[in-house]
Structures are given as C-alpha cells and as structure tokens.
Structure 1
Amino acid sequence: MLRTALRPRNLALLAVAVLVVVAFVQLGRWQLGVAEDEALRESLEKARSQQPVAVERVLRPHSDFPGELSIRPVSATGEFGPDQVVVANRRLDGRSGYWVVAPLRVTATGATLPVLRGFVTSPAELPPVPTGTVTVTGGLAPPESPYAGAAPPEGQLGSVDTSVLVGRWSGDLYNAFVFQQEETPAAAPGSLGSMQRVPTPSGETGFKWRNAAYALQWWAFALFALYMWWRIVRDEGREDAASERAAAEEVGASGDNGACE
C-alpha cells in the first residue's frame, strides 16, 4: 500500500487533502470564535438589562459562589467599617495602582460584604469610607484565588481572597465581592479624591452551542477528506494486488501448459 500511496497521482491527491484539512480546521476555529463572541455579547446584554437585586436574596454568607451570579447587578444596604485594605498590582486605563476594598456590614444579614470601592495610584490616596447607612450597587464577582507571589506590605493584599479577609474582618463574610458603581446617598463632591470606579469585568460566558456544533462539523469534514484519500489508496492497492495475482496465475498456467507439452 505504501508503494501505491507514493505514486505521483496519489501524492498530489494527498496534497489537495491536506489543503482541505487545513481550510476546514481553520473554519472550525472561526466558528468557535463566533461561538465565544456571541455568548459574550449575549451575556453582557443580559447582565446589563437586569435590575439590581438585593444581595441577601441571591447569596448567603459563607456559601459557595454560584457561577451564574458572575457580573450580576446587586445592591447592598448597610454601614462601612473603617478597615479598608488595598490590593496591589492592579491596572486601570493603562495605569498601575491599587484596588480599594472596604467591608460593608449588610443590615439584612449582619454579614460583611467586601466592596471594591475603586482604584487609586497610591495607598496614600485612600478616601475615607462613607458614614451612616448607605446602599451600594454594582456587579457581583467570585473571590479571587490566593496570592502566590511575595507577601505584599502590611495593610495590602495580593488578591481579593475571602479566606484572608475572614481572618481580618470579624463576623460572617460573604464569599464574594462587589465592583461598586454607585452609592446612595451619593458621595459628596470631592470626597472620593482621585479614586476611580472599576468597571465590572465580563465574567465567564461559555459557548454558543450552535456555532460550536458547526465547528465540529468542519472538523469532521477534515477527517472525512483524509479518509477519502486513504480509501482511494487502499482500493487502488487492492486492484494492484489483484492484478499482480492474476498475472502470476497466468504465468503459472503458462508454465504448466509448457511442461505438459
């Protein structure tokens, strides 16, 4: 079969098959990209169209974070504690800086909700937390993974890790945090200083399964192209083998007839 496969005609067919495979694989990858883009667009549109819901209605303190709540708009009413922390090595609009995270004691549950109030370029720029009862709104997010780098300076964190915050802030703690976008009553003019709000990230979106199925179809077509080439070579090899056997039988028959004479 190898001899059959190495014939110029079959090598040319193999080259065509390889080109078809490359084209179909790329088309499959394109469909996967479409699946991701469509899922992202729909997820963002759905999240933005939702009205904020009170955090105590969708999440309990210390419970695991449900993935479907990522970027979900929520509101929380309570009072801020004074123990703000900063999370180092963050970026916003091309600048390096820190996230400002403060504990909000939620009135409805008495549990503490970490609130990402904003971004500053220096820990010295932390604005004071609001006093009295406030309502914050923003996108809900799961806690970040534990920080694996060198220990940051005192008062700073490497990530928004609730396993660290639970030892710093007393009482029950939500296993999540909020990208704060607004607060009521609104902050007094100038009270935030240079701090900027941090937009809620897009979160996980998964696939648009119809386009993912199209990708699988393209890849199946690619495999079929290789199979067809193999089938052609196999059938041609069988025909060659049959022809060789027939020729050998004719030669054998001729030899037998000559011996008889």
Structure 2
Amino acid sequence: MLRTALRPRWLGLLAVALLFVVAFVQLGRWQLGVAEDKALKEQLEAAKKVGVVELSTVLQPHSPFPGELSGRPVRAMGTYAADEQVLVTDRRLDGQTGWWVVTALHTDAGPTLPVLRGFVTSPDAVPAPPAGPVTVRGGLAPAESPVSSAGLPQGQLRSVDLSVLVNQWSGDLYNAFVFLEQQTPASDLTTVPTPRPTPGINWRNASYAAQWWVFALFALWLWWRMVRDAHRQDHPAPAAGEGDPAPRHTDDA
C-alpha cells in the first residue's frame, strides 16, 4: 500500500488534503477564540447589569472571599488612614514599572478596607490620601498569594498580602481589596484597571470549533480510504479456490 500512496497522483491529493487540514484547524482555532470572546462579553455584560452594591451587603470581615465576587463593582464610604499604607513593588501599567499604592480605608460600616488607590513610578512621589470622608467605588479582588518581602524598604510588599496587613493595620480587615475606579473627592493617582474576569467558553461556538477539527480528520481519512481502494484494485484478492492445490486422486486397488 505504501507504493500506491507514493505515486504522484496520491501525493498530489495528499498535499490538497493537508491544505484542507490546515484550513480546518485554523478555522477551529478561530471559532474557539470567538467562543472565549463571547463568553467574556457575556460575563462583562452580566457584571454591568448587577450594578454597584454596598460592600457591607456582600462581604463581611474575616469571612472567606467568594470567587463569584471577583471583579464585582462595590461602593464604600469612610476615611483613609494615611499612616496605614503600603507600596506593592514590581507592578506594571502601560509599559511602565512601578508601585501600587494600597491604603487602609476605615469604612463607616466599621471594618477596614484595603484600597488600591493607584500607581506611581517612584516611591517618593505618592500623593497623600484625602483627609476627610470619601466615597470609593471599584472592583473587588481577593488577596494575592504571600511573597517574601525580605530586602525591601519598610512599608513595601511584593504582593497584596492581607495576612501581613491584618497585623499592621487597625480594625477588622475585609478579606479583599478594591481596585479604585472612582473616588469622591477625586484621586490624584493613576488608577489601575480592575482585572478582567477569566474567560469561560461559549459552548455553541466551541462545538463549531470541534466540527472544523472533525472535518480536518475526515480529510485525512478520506485520502487514506481512496489510497486503500486504489491499492485493492491494483492488487485484487485471489478468488475463492484460486491457488489451492489440485486434489490428489488415488486408484482403487
């Protein structure tokens, strides 16, 4: 069968089949990308419909952070504690490396909320938070994984590690922090966008992607089937009885 497959005719058809395979695989990848984009769009639209809620209505201090609250827009009112502030190192925004400014907000509801007020490119150029009452609005986020801060100047961390802040700041700490989007009075810092949710899958478009990949396999199978049929035509199987030794006759005594 290999000799049949190596004939110019079948090699040419194999090249055509491979072109179809490449096209079908790329179409499948495109459909998969569409599936992820649609799922992300649906998640963002659902988040917009939810609207902004008071933080105290969806989360309590010391309680575990529910995954579904990640990115949830919330609002809180309170007063910043200027002496309860940390800088988180090695952060990037718009191609620049700098620090996140995270400040404690003592909310009117009682607990303390870490607020990521914004981004700076120098640890010596951090505007002080407003002195009076403020209203903040932004997206919720869970605590980041702990990272050793050995070797850093005092007041700097390598992650938003709430297990460190709970021992440094006063009040009951929310097990979350907020990416500040709006503040009254307005903030002087460059805000950091709330991370987009991890895209899921739109299964309808994902099924279209699977169909394209099935077509790719079918193209290869069809070529193999044609080669096999051609080989069988060139090398037909012996008819029943052909090639069998002639029966031996013995004379009766």
Fold-level similarity (TM above 0.5): yes
CA deviation map 1:19-61 (0-9, x unaligned): 1111000001111122222233333344345421011222233
The corresponding residue for 2:103 is: 102
Deviation at 1:170, TM superposition (A): 4.4
Asked whether the equivalents of residues 35 and 205 of structure 2 are also in contact (C-alpha less than 8 Å), the reply is yes
Match of 1:128 in 2: 128
Provide the C-alpha distance between the structure 2 equivalents of 1:33 and 1:148, rounded to a whole number of angstroms.
37
More helix by share: 1
CA distance in 2, matches of 1:154, 1:22: 56
Q: Which amino acid in 2 is paired with 1:34?
A: V
TM-score (norm 1): 0.80
Write the letter of the residue equivalent to 1:55: L
Normalised by the length of structure 2, the TM-score is 0.82
- Identify the residue that residue 34 of structure 1 maps to in structure 2: 34
Structure 1 residues 70-122: Cα deviation after superposition (integer angstroms, max 9, x where no partner): 222101123323311011122333433211101123333x3322100112222
Letter in 1 for 2:5: A
**How far has the Cα of 1:150 moved from its partner?**
6.8
Tell me which amino acid in the other structure corresponds to 2:42.
E
Equivalent residue in structure 2 for 1:223, among 187, 212, 217: 217
Cα distance in 2 for residues equivalent to 1:148 and 1:2: 62
Query: Counterparts of 1:30 and 1:60 in 2: how far apart (Å)?
Result: 43
Is 1:22 matched up with 2:57? Answer: no
Does the C-alpha gap of structure 1 residues 247 and 89 become closer, same or farther in structure 2, counting only changes over 3 Å? same
Q: SS where residue 117 of structure 2 aligns?
A: strand
User: How many angstroms does 1:3 deviate by?
Assistant: 3.1
- Give the distance between the partners of 2:72 and 2:160, measured in 1 at CA: 18
Say whether 1:2 aligns with 2:2: yes
Unaligned stretches of 5+ residues in structure 1: none
Cα 1:128–1:7 change in 2 (3 A) is same
Give percent identity, aligned residues only: 63
What is the distance in 2 between the residues matched to 1:16 and 1:225? Answer: 9
Instruction: Specify whether residues 2 and 247 from structure 1 end up closer, same or farther in structure 2 by C-alpha distance, changes over 3 A only.
Output: farther
State the shift of 1:177 in Å: 1.2
Provide the C-alpha distance between the structure 1 equivalents of 2:152 and 2:241, rounded to a whole number of angstroms: 84
Q: Is the 8 A contact 1:181 1:197 kept in 2?
A: yes
SS in 2 for 1:26: helix
**TM-align CA RMSD:** 2.9
